[in-house]
């Protein structure tokens, strides 16, 4: 999904003159580092929209021709450096006119607000005034207050491009109440409480070896059996990772093997698109899971986890995440067999989730 930076012009892209009106070309001075910062942000996948109030534009106090020349200079200069604004939205009214389009009112951005097909969670409004901050809030996106000294462009670009991919998914049914939170870019903050010690231990393998943080609480109908709790946790985990992945730009894909004591587990993970278009392998467009467990599990249970719930857990997760997943494990101690599968899955996931650059790893241009 597209993510946007809505950006104020005066005082944010170009320095605001004392009389607060950029009405000639010699008043055009860019804010420090705005060009490299916007290039970096654009590269990171943001689309840009300019949103500006120009008080009394087109009236004798601010004739259109006095606005147009410096405005063109600003836009053309940015464009010549590769910075493209998808749209430039301008309110020409004075505040006393009580129009519907003056920031922080929403008139200018209504077409965007009506479109549900972009990523609110990762979009921002950047501006130098409290009105801009309010505008971000009114739009339901993150407001960022620009301040040349304290919160300049270099800092904003750094913050936005190192933002963690996080998500929370909750699922409440008669059988289970589950909350899963993931942070794909910061390991070490994991917590598990599923009521099943062995399952907690296995989820910890995914987090630890996946290099991610994972918080899972599950209150399930364990008095019936473990089935619902394990299955639904798999679904929520898959949904949470998918949600956190966002537009999936820059992520890797991976095949992996892992020896563990006497057993040998193989995992091959590959991200597929969420609406079912095949991007790799010979699979016709749906999440796909292949288990090749050479030997059956050597016991029915490890801790309170039924061995047959292991493939079911991964299947639930893979379907929710849109994952093509092949898993193979050799014979050996049942605890080791299961643990090796979770560890190997974590390792494969780590590489599949890792980000490098900004390209969509798909020659189809869609993941």
Binding residues vs Zn ion (CB under 5 A) = 91, 93, 99, 101-102
- Selection from Zn ion, Mg ion, none that 8 binds (CB < 5 to 8 A by kind) is Mg ion
- Name the residue with tokens 């000294």: 149
Q: Residue 91 or 236: which CB sits closer to Zn ion?
A: 91
In angstroms, the first-to-last Cα distance of the chain is: 10
226 binds Mg ion (CB under 5 A): no
31 binds Mg ion (CB under 5 A): no
- Selection from Zn ion, Mg ion, none that 45 binds (CB < 5 to 8 A by kind) is none
- Selection from Zn ion, Mg ion, none that 99 binds (CB < 5 to 8 A by kind) is Zn ion
**Residue of 101, 144, 139, 146 lying closest to 120 (CA atoms):** 139
List active site positions. Answer: 8, 10
Q: Residue 101 or 353: which CB sits closer to Mg ion?
A: 101
Burial level of 347, CB count in 10 A (0-12/13-18/19+)? buried
Q: Residue 101 or 269: which CB sits closer to Zn ion?
A: 101
Structure tokens belonging to residue 134: 């309010």
Spatial contact of 23 and 62, defined as CB atoms under 8 Å apart: yes
232 binds Mg ion (CB under 5 A): no
Query: For residues 94-133, which are near Mg ion according to CB under 5 A?
Result: 128
State the nearest-atom distance from the C-beta of 106 to Mg ion, in Å.
17
Burial level of 217, CB count in 10 A (0-12/13-18/19+)? middle
**Secondary structure (DSSP) of 12-57:** TTBPPPTTS---SGGG--BPTTHHHHHHHHHHTTEEEEEEEE-TTT
Q: How many residues bind Mg ion (CB under 5 A)?
A: 4
Q: Residue 132 or 200: which CB sits closer to Mg ion?
A: 132
Residues that bind Mg ion (CB under 5 A): 8, 10-11, 128
């Amino acid at each position: 999904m597209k993510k946007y930076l809505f950006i104020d012009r005066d005082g944010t892209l170009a320095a605001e003159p004392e009389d607060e009106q950029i009405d000639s070309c010699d008043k055009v001075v860019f804010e420090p580092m705005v060009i490299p910062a916007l290039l970096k942000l654009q590269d990171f996948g943001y689309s840009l929209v300019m949103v500006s109030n120009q008080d009394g534009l087109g009236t004798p106090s601010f004739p259109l021709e006095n606005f147009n020349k410096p405005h063109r200079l600003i836009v053309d200069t940015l464009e010549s450096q590769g910075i493209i604004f998808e749209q430039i939205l301008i309110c020409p009214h004075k505040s006393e006119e009580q129009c519907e389009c003056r920031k922080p009112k929403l008139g200018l951005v209504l077409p965007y607000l009506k479109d549900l097909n972009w990523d609110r969670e990762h979009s921002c409004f950047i501006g130098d005034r409290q009105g801009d901050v309010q505008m971000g809030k009114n739009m339901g996106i993150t407001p960022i207050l620009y301040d040349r000294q304290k919160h300049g462009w270099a800092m904003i670009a750094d913050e936005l491009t190192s933002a963690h991919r996080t998500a929370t998914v909750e699922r409440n049914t008669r059988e289970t109440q589950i909350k899963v939170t993931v942070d794909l870019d910061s390991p070490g903050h994991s917590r598990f409480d599923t009521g099943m010690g062995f399952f907690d231990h296995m989820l910890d393998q995914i987090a630890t070896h996946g290099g991610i943080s994972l918080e899972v609480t599950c209150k399930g109908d364990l008095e019936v059996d473990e089935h619902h709790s394990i299955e639904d946790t798999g679904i929520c985990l898959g949904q949470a990772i998918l949600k956190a992945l966002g537009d999936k730009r820059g992520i890797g894909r991976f095949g992996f093997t892992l020896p563990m004591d006497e057993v040998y587990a193989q995992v091959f993970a590959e991200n597929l698109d969420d609406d079912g278009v095949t991007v790799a392998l010979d699979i016709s467009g749906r999440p796909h899971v292949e288990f090749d467990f050479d030997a059956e599990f050597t016991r029915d249970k490890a801790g309170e986890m039924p061995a047959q719930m292991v493939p079911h857990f991964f299947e639930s997760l893979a379907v929710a995440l849109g994952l093509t997943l092949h898993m193979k494990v050799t014979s050996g101690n049942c605890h080791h067999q299961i643990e090796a599968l979770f560890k190997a899955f974590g390792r494969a996931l780590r590489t599949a989730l890792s980000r490098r650059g900004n390209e969509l790893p798909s020659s189809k241009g869609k993941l």
